[in-house]
Amino acid sequence: MASFPWTRLILLAEGDPQAAEGQGGNPLLMQILLIWVPIGFLFWFFLMRPQSRERARRQAMLGAIKSNDRVITAGGIYGVVTNVHREADVVTIKVDESNNTKLRVSLGAIARVLPEESSGESAPNKT
């Protein structure tokens, strides 16, 4: 029965040359697995799973961008989407109404889409 060289080294370091030959079970390997498998699961659960959920949420947000959406770019520029060209990965946003200034940015440069304001909530009452 073949065993891994590092397992033999560990067993030799413990002073058990009979177990290093690979005869019988290997309780040390089971102890190592009992420690590292839960650590690997916790790593996935706390780091990889949330990251993949965030990536999926962002892809859904970028896929749903359409004209007249209010957005913020990664550089902090506020604008309104005027044109989306998905094949070229380009979004045109209008940043100034008075000068009709438009910017062409990469679709990945959109940091977030702002929620639409309803007309009744935009001006709070002051009494």
DSSP letter for 1, please. Answer: -
* CATH architecture of the domain with residue range 66-113: Roll (2.30)
pLDDT score for 116: 82
Helices (H), 1-127: 5-14, 17-20, 27-43, 49-63
Instruction: Round to whole Å and give the CA distance between 57 and 11.
Output: 48
pLDDT score for 6: 60
Mean pLDDT, 10 residues at a time, the chain of 127 residues: 58 53 68 89 91 94 93 94 93 92 94 79 52
Query: From residue 83, how far is each of 63, 70, 72, 98, 101 by CA, in Å?
Result: 13, 12, 15, 19, 13
List the chain domain ranges: 5-62, 66-113
pLDDT score for 20: 46
The kind and range of the H/E element at 90 are strand 90-96
